[in-house]
Amino acid sequence: MRSFTVLIAAVLIAATGFGGVINQVGTYTNWTTSWTALTGQNDANNGLTKTQLDFVGDANNAGAYWADNGTYVFFRFRVQVGTVNSTTFRDSHFLLIDLNNYLYGSGFGTNIVGRPDFAFSWDSKSNDNTSHGLEMQVFNSGANTWNGINMADIDGSVSTKGSNDINGGGRTTDGYVQTTDQRDTTSFGMTTFIDYAISWAYLTNYTALAKGQTWNVALASIANATDHNNLGQGGDIAGGADPTSSITVGWQQAIPEPTVVGLLATSGIGLLIGRRLIDPKLRKAFFG
Backbone angles phi and psi of 148, in degrees to 5: -105, 0
The pLDDT score that the predictor gives to residue 268 is 29
The pLDDT score that the predictor gives to residue 131 is 67
- Supply the Cα-derived Rg of the chain in whole angstroms: 18
Given a cut of 50, whether residue 8 has pLDDT beyond it is no
Query: CA angle 269-62-253, nearest 5°?
Result: 40
What value does the mean pLDDT take over residues 101-113?
94
The answer to whether residue 5 sits within a structural domain is no
The pLDDT score that the predictor gives to residue 16 is 34
Given a cut of 50, whether residue 59 has pLDDT beyond it is yes
Query: CA angle 181-218-176, nearest 5°?
Result: 50
The pLDDT score that the predictor gives to residue 132 is 76
pLDDT digits (tens, 9 = 90+) for 195-226: 999 999 999 999 999 998 999 999 999 999 98
List, as one string, the DSSP characters of 78-89.
Answer: EES-----TTS-
pLDDT above 90: percentage of residues in the chain? 71
Residue 227's closest CA among 177, 174, 268, 261? 177
pLDDT, the chain, mean: 83
The answer to whether residue 6 sits within a structural domain is no
The answer to whether residue 215 sits within a structural domain is yes
The pLDDT score that the predictor gives to residue 275 is 29
Q: Is 275 helix (H, G, I), strand (E, B) or coil?
A: coil
The answer to whether residue 67 sits within a structural domain is yes
Structural domains of the chain, count: 1
The pLDDT score that the predictor gives to residue 9 is 38
Given a cut of 70, whether residue 264 has pLDDT beyond it is no
The answer to whether residue 167 sits within a structural domain is yes
The answer to whether residue 191 sits within a structural domain is yes
The answer to whether residue 11 sits within a structural domain is no
- When pLDDT is cut at 50, 70 and 90, the band that residue 21 belongs to is very high
Q: CA 74, CA 262: separation in Å to the nearest integer?
A: 16
DSSP character for 156? Answer: S
pLDDT digits (tens, 9 = 90+) for 61-83: 999 999 999 999 999 999 999 99
CA distances to 49, 95, 145, 210, 226 from 152, rounded to whole Å, are 27, 14, 17, 20, 11
Backbone angles phi and psi of 212, in degrees to 5: 90, -5
Q: CA 127, CA 92: separation in Å to the nearest integer?
A: 11
pLDDT digits (tens, 9 = 90+) for 138-151: 999 988 999 999 99
- Domain membership of residue 152 as a residue range: 21-287
The answer to whether residue 248 sits within a structural domain is yes
